[in-house]
Amino acid sequence: MWQAEHVKALLETRLGWQVALLGMTTLGDQILDRSLSKVGGKGLFVKELETALLDGRADLAVHSLKDVPMDLPAGFALACVLEREDPRDALVSNHFSSLDELPPGAVVGTSSLRRLVLLKALRPDLKIEPLRGNLDTRLRKLDEGQYQAIVLAAAGLKRLGLAPRIRCAFEPAQMLPAAGQGALGIEVRADRRDLLDALATLAHQPTWLAVTAERTVSRAMGGSCSMPLAAFIREPQGGEMTLEAAWGEPGADGQGVAGQPLVRAEHRAPVRSFADAEALGERVAASLRAGGAVWAAPAPQP
């Protein structure tokens, strides 16, 4: 809802539109007893919103871009991507100020396969436990003592005025962010040329190019938002972008393969168009596959 309110304010101040919010609860919000990778991935957060677009109840939908499937269904389009907030992951703990301070075998909460494999690569001894629910629910579970630390997106905490809960933000060199993390995307029906043209004026082109490259890696690796994949564009310089990706092995027990080396890939290239961004993403994905990265998605559970 913060994201929707943010976009509402932009549309009203910059385009002069009158905007009403249609609040919705998605299937991804409702299924909290299983990890996303086991129930169909993060696309569960957008299906109901797309139905509202299709039947005319809504004109546009606001998404966290990292929750949006790499390929939208036929008839839908991404109208724009807004300027990115802090893309980093954040450690939240009531007693420890860094990952290094956590005691051996500490319980850390996250339901992200990406965070799981990156945490295990940094600290093989940690016990990673599932953590689902909205931000308040996740913080409450931490405060109740169910975890010694949890890992969340810094952007979400900052947007909700909860930045003081962040004990430390992981630099990308330590924990590489997810593709599109920290960026908001606006989705519309593909036949709404009026909206596509108007919303294009809100786009932040450097962010859009960066997340296009990152999301292309995900698409090339299998298209799932819930893969054990990190992909991130470092600060562009002089029209060039450096795209880094990391791939881990989640392990049969869902705990990650302790100490398993990550497959990493990095390439730099001039990026001035979406075609350039996609080519860079494809190149990085090819390097990951050459390094042995392969994704066998879990079968969704009813």
Here the tokens at position 255 are 């705990």
> Does 218 or 28 have the greater pLDDT score?
218
Per-residue confidence at 139, pLDDT binned at 50, 70, 90? Answer: very high
- b/e per residue, 234-256, with b = 16+ CB within 10 A? eeeeeeebbbbbbbbbbbeeeeb
Q: What is the pLDDT of residue 1?
A: 86
User: Backbone phi, then psi, for 22, in 5-degree steps?
Assistant: -115, 95
Q: What is the pLDDT of residue 34?
A: 45
Q: What is the pLDDT of residue 38?
A: 45
Instruction: Establish whether 125 is a catalytic residue.
Output: no
pLDDT digits (tens, 9 = 90+) for 151-205: 999 999 999 999 999 999 999 999 999 999 999 999 999 999 999 999 999 999 9
Q: What is the pLDDT of residue 197?
A: 97
pLDDT of 134 strictly over 90: no
Mean pLDDT of the chain: 88
pLDDT of 41 strictly over 60: no
> Does 46 or 23 have the greater pLDDT score?
23
Considering 29, 33, 67, 191, which one is annotated as catalytic?
67
pLDDT above 70 as % of the chain:
87
Per-residue confidence at 225, pLDDT binned at 50, 70, 90? Answer: low
Show Cβ contacts of residue 119 under 8 Å, excluding neighbours closer than 6 positions.
Answer: 99, 108, 110, 126, 128, 151, 175, 256
CATH number 3.40.190.10 given to 89-169: yes
Domain boundaries, the chain: 89-169
Segment 242-257 shows an average pLDDT of: 76
- What is the rounded CA–CA span in Å between residue 153 and residue 141? 16
pTM: 0.88
pLDDT above 90 as % of the chain:
74
Strands (E), the chain: 61-64, 76-81, 89-92, 107-109, 127-129, 149-153, 166-169, 184-189, 229-233, 240-247, 263-270
Chain center to CA of 285: 17
The DSSP call for residue 191 is T
How many other CB atoms are found less than 10 A from the CB of residue 141? 17
Nearest to 178 by CA among 130, 216, 224, 230: 230
Segment 260-288 shows an average pLDDT of: 95
pLDDT of 28 strictly over 50: no
